[in-house]
Amino acid sequence: MPSQESTSTIHGITTVLWIGLLLATGCTTERNSAKLEMEKLQGTWHLVYQQLNGTKLPDEKAAEMFHGKVIFLADKIHYSVELPGFDFQFAYVLHPDQRPKGIDLSLTDTPDKQGIGKKIFGIYLLVDGTLKIWHNTTNRPTEFSAGEGSHNVLIVLKRTLGSQ
């Protein structure tokens, strides 16, 4: 018959193993959720417009004229517009289990090499082939707003036909 001390040790080890299993399962579920969500974004998107603090810049007409596009490839984003110096690359991480869904971006390349490593915190909404990303450099937005005084940026994208 095991001693009370060895029984307590076995219970302690069992508890630690169960907690570890629960934590690992939760992390795996979150990773799987992020991976599935990431798959939905893969491909080429064209820029509909961008809005900063209530002002569209570029508006729909300019975005179309300058062929703004965003390409999601694995965990990377390439954002370009046919304007000198407007060619940015980011690494990104999704947080689909947050409400609203979160996205963290890290600037990895620019034509002038300025701002590399800069972090951007955002939220996103994907509905019927339209992706909207609201972001800010200081705080993750808590609501879907890029109106005057919000200091948030909104990027509206439409999936390019034939992409994913």
Read off the pLDDT of residues 82-141 as tens digits, 9 standing for 90 and up. 989 999 999 999 999 999 999 999 999 999 999 999 999 999 999 999 999 999 999 999
User: Which 3-state string (H, E, C) describes 30-48?
Assistant: HHHHHHHHHHHHCEEEEEE
Whether the pLDDT of residue 35 is over 70: the answer is yes
Indicate whether 20 belongs to any domain. Answer: no
| pTM assigned to the model | 0.80
In a domain, 28, yes or no: no
How many structural domains comprise the chain?
1
Give the model's confidence band at 6: pLDDT under 50 very low, under 70 low, under 90 confident, else very high.
low
Q: Which helix (H) or strand (E) holds 157?
A: strand 153-159
Predicted local distance difference test score (pLDDT) of residue 8: 52
Domain-located, residue 152: yes
Answer yes or no: is pLDDT of 155 > 90: yes
Separation in Å, CA 10 to CA 16, 18, 22, 83? 10, 12, 18, 66
CA distance 39 to 82: 27
| 81 lies in some domain | yes
Q: What is the pLDDT of residue 20?
A: 40
Looking at residue 126, its pLDDT comes to 96
| Closest alpha carbon to 103 in 43, 47, 34 | 34
CATH code for the domain in which residue 148 is found = 2.40.128.280
Query: For residues 69 and 81, what is the distance between their CA atoms, to the nearest angstrom?
Result: 6
Domain containing residue 152: 38-159
**153, 135 in Cβ contact below 8 A?**
yes
In a domain, residue 24? The reply is no
- The reply to whether 27 falls in a domain is no
pLDDT band per the 50, 70, 90 thresholds, residue 32: confident
pLDDT in tens, 40-87: 999 999 999 999 989 998 889 998 999 999 999 999 999 999 989 999
Evaluate whether residue 111 is within a structural domain.
yes
141 lies in some domain: yes
pLDDT band per the 50, 70, 90 thresholds, residue 23:
very low
Say whether pLDDT at 153 is over 70. Answer: yes
Q: What's the average model confidence in pLDDT over 141-164? A: 90
Alpha-carbon gap, residue 115 to 131, rounded angstroms = 25
Nearby residues of 30 by Cβ (< 8 Å), 6 or more positions away: 97
Residue 11's pLDDT band (boundaries 50, 70, 90)? Answer: very low
